[in-house]
Amino acid sequence: MEDCIFCKIIEGKIKSDIIFSDNDMIIFRDIHPQAKIHLLAVPKAHFPLIEEVAEDALIGRMLKTIASNKELLGLKHGYRIVINQKGEFGNDAGQEVMHLHIHILAGQKL
């Protein structure tokens, strides 16, 4: 998507502190952290919302990848996962970037 900041990060047009990357996703540090460790796991394919994900197994693979790389990501003491989703009639969840992403929060008691 042309104006999507996450697509630009994936394409290398915008610099980011990328910690992990594979064929399906990237994980990088959030520029406005809400915890000592605040990472974003973003699928490389552009999907604004969960219901638009073309492949049912993608989110499961993303969650498994996070869990399998918890040492690399600094998550050995536990972590919280959050997905914000804009609704049909409003944005009560506060999804700021319309590209599906998983917030990973850790590094302190939450």
Catalytic residues: 101
Contact 42, 70 (CB under 8 A): no
**Strand, helix or coil at 24?**
coil
Q: Which residues partner with 25 through β-bridges? A: 43
**CB burial string 54-77: b at 16+ within 10 A, e below:** eeeebbeebeebbeebeeebbbee
Strands (E), 16-97: 18-21, 25-29, 37-43, 80-82
